[in-house]
Amino acid sequence: MTLDWHWKSAREIRDAVQSGAVSALDVTEAYLRRIDAVEDKVDAYTQRWNDTARSMATKVDEKVRRGETAGPLAGVPVALKELLCTRTGKTTCASKMLENFRSPYDATVVRRLEEADAVFLGKVNMDEFAMGSSTENSAIKPTRNPWNLRCVPGGSSGGSAAAVSAGECALSLGSDTGGSIRQPACLCGCVGIKPTYGRVSRYGLVAFASSLDQVGPLTRTVEDAALTLNVICGRDAMDATSADLPVPDFTAALTGDIRGLRIGLPKEYFTDALSDQMREKIEAAIEVFRDHGATIVDVSLPCSEYAIAVYYIICTAEASANLARFDGVRYGFRHPEAKTMQEMYVMSKSAAFGPEVRRRIMLGTYVLSSGYYDAYYLKAQKVRRLIKKDFDAAFEQCDVIAGPTSPTPSFEFGAKSDNPLEMYLSDIYTISVNLATLPGMSVPCGLTEAGLPVGLQLMARPFEEETLLRAAHFYEQNRGFDMGRPPVA
């Protein structure tokens, strides 16, 4: 029975492969067929690694045949975001700058997945250098939302979310700097978690904003997210910002018991900026918690209104330095007509970075410039601390903060791409979590009348992913409806 493997959870696949009930190769072939069937509509993949996938799967099968215990993600087909460094294939960051770039090493998370016996199907689309909320900023191609092909999958991990949602992989790794895992997970109806800053190694994640970036999984179930976190979390000697804390078995947190859990609702997240169709679904989700013994409390995050401003100063400042290395000297695009060193820099960067990347580099350069530093960057750092204090205070009153992931469901291509400010507002509810270095996640909580997914966002104290997963898992098991599958064939 191989028919529907592409809709199985990572957990089901892992168990079946480990026990020998199915071969990893059969599962892989099922996914390859699924990709063949829907990819021309979804366009999630930027690289397909069919041979790599088959050979990885074969290795897992040999392991099982030898009687060894296959890893915790044995035979699970995975798609990797384009900005994770891999020795296999290219690492393009969906940019013309790196269209032919091959990384000499694997990112720590990639290595950990491989050691857990996962199978890599290829790499998936994203906004160029993770800058965007719709994947429209990809220099490679647009990716479509499996729930409505006229709509965007969100971003920047849009390819990851679309692939998971369309059954083109069992799980995917994305990265989240201001919402780039949670927002596309919300728009595509899947589970996405941004772990606490420092929980997952950033080594080999091409940096956008170093103090905000974090790698995390996009999955179809909460349990799969826990399973993936078990594999990718933990101290890495190659990342000085990775936390030296023990990694629990996250799946053990999925007890289904939320009695006594205090859930805070920040009043700043339920204003007019939230569309009615989203509000309705979020409020219904809160009721599920209330009905099962959680305590619902009102909390306030008064500095929320500054989050977007603070974020676009800090992330652009860091990005302006992080992207400076793409200069055409050692790798990446070098303009063939550049004759001097100055021309090499200016012409290469101008030609190979898209407009959003250029905009952010210029913004970041500006806010760090002599005479502006204090007014922008330094002030933003101060407000960032205030935002964190808001959360500290709120978490005195509650264990989990709940709210919308995105102010609106998915939107049609081009709807916001001419107005960067409006696009920036897509992340209004997710950005604070990054600024405050908290764990945050999005869980599907229904469909709008137009059939577009809505996501419930949950946030917890630093390094309390277990609380987050417990709440999300409880909700998933008790929401009282099935999200169903996207209409893509």
Partner 1 sequence: MDYEAVIGMEVHVEINSKSKVFCSCPTDFHAPPNTNVCPICLGMPGALPVLNRDMVNKSIAVGLALGCKISRWSKMDRKNYFYPDLAKNYQISQYDLPLCDNGALEIEVDGGSKRIGITRAHMEEDTARNTHALGGGQSGIDFNRSGVPLLEIVTEPDIRSAREAHAYLTALKQILQYLDVSDCNMEEGSLRAEANISLRPKGHAEFGVKTEVKNVASFSGVQKAIEFEIARQEQVLRSGGVIIQETRGWDADRGITFSQRKKESAHDYRYFPEPDLPPIVVDDAWEQRIRHQLPELPMARKQRLEAQYGLSGYDAHVITLSRNFADYYEKVVASGADPKKAANWLTVELQALLSEAKAEITACRVAPDALAALLKLIDTGEINGKIAKEVLAEMFTSGQSPDSIVQEKGLNQISDTGAIEDAVKQVIGASPNQVAQYKEGKEKVFGYFVGQVMKATQGKGNPQLVNEILRRELGR
Interface with partner 1, residue 15, by CB under 8 A: no
Contact, 413 vs 150, CB < 8 A? yes
Query: What would the DSSP string read from start to end of 152-175?
Result: ---SSSHHHHHHHHTTS-SEEEEE
Interface with partner 1, residue 7, by CB under 8 A: no
Q: Has 406 been annotated as catalytic?
A: no
Contact, 231 vs 446, CB < 8 A? no
- The residue within the footprint of partner 1, chosen from 252, 329, 375, 450 (CB under 8 A), is 329
User: Which one of 134, 175, 180, 442 is the catalytic residue?
Assistant: 180
Tell me the backbone φ, ψ of residue 454, rounded to 5 degrees: -120, 145
Task: Pull the structure tokens for residue 459.
Answer: 């946030």
Interface with partner 1, residue 373, by CB under 8 A: yes
Q: Has 19 been annotated as catalytic?
A: no
User: Which one of 8, 63, 81, 416 is the catalytic residue?
Assistant: 81
Contact, 188 vs 454, CB < 8 A? no
- The residue within the footprint of partner 1, chosen from 48, 194, 199, 202 (CB under 8 A), is 202
Q: Has 59 been annotated as catalytic?
A: no
Collapsing DSSP to helix, strand or coil, 446 comes out as: strand
Which region among 253-261, 296-304, 361-369, 436-444 touches partner 1 (by CB under 8 A)? 361-369
Q: Please, what is the minimum distance in Å from the beta carbon of residue 450 to partner 1?
A: 39
Nearest to 60 by CA among 3, 91, 90, 22: 22
Q: Please, what is the minimum distance in Å from the beta carbon of residue 85 to partner 1?
A: 4
Interface with partner 1, residue 206, by CB under 8 A: yes
Task: Pull the structure tokens for residue 92.
Answer: 């393009």
Which one, 97 or 193, has the nearer CB to partner 1? 97
Which region among 48-56, 157-165, 281-289, 329-337 touches partner 1 (by CB under 8 A)? 329-337
Which region among 39-47, 204-212, 413-421, 446-454 touches partner 1 (by CB under 8 A)? 204-212
Which region among 51-59, 84-92, 262-270, 403-411 touches partner 1 (by CB under 8 A)? 84-92
Which region among 196-204, 223-231, 253-261, 429-437 touches partner 1 (by CB under 8 A)? 196-204
Task: Pull the structure tokens for residue 358.
Answer: 């250029």
Which one, 196 or 410, has the nearer CB to partner 1? 196
Written as one letter, the residue type at 481 is F
Interface with partner 1, residue 368, by CB under 8 A: yes
State how far the Cα of 82 lies from the Cα of 86, in Å rounded to an integer: 9
Q: Which burial class, exposed, middle or buried, applies to 456 when counting CB atoms under 10 A from its CB (0-12, 13-18, 19+)?
A: buried
Query: 97-126: which residues touch partner 1 (CB under 8 A)?
Result: 98, 101, 103-105, 107
C-alpha separations of 47 from 108, 218, 220, 359 in Å? 20, 18, 22, 27
State how far the Cα of 238 lies from the Cα of 22, in Å rounded to an integer: 36
State how far the Cα of 253 lies from the Cα of 223, in Å rounded to an integer: 10
Query: 288-317: which residues touch partner 1 (CB under 8 A)?
Result: 317
Tell me the backbone φ, ψ of residue 42, rounded to 5 degrees: -85, -40
C-alpha separations of 173 from 43, 119, 389, 416 in Å? 17, 13, 30, 26
- The residue within the footprint of partner 1, chosen from 190, 205, 261, 425 (CB under 8 A), is 205
Query: 215-254: which residues touch partner 1 (CB under 8 A)?
Result: 237-241
State the catalytic residues: 81, 156, 180
Question: What is the binding site for partner 1 (CB under 8 A)?
Answer: 83-85, 91, 93, 98, 101, 103-105, 107, 202-207, 209-211, 237-241, 317-318, 320-321, 324-327, 329-331, 341, 345, 365, 368-370, 373, 377
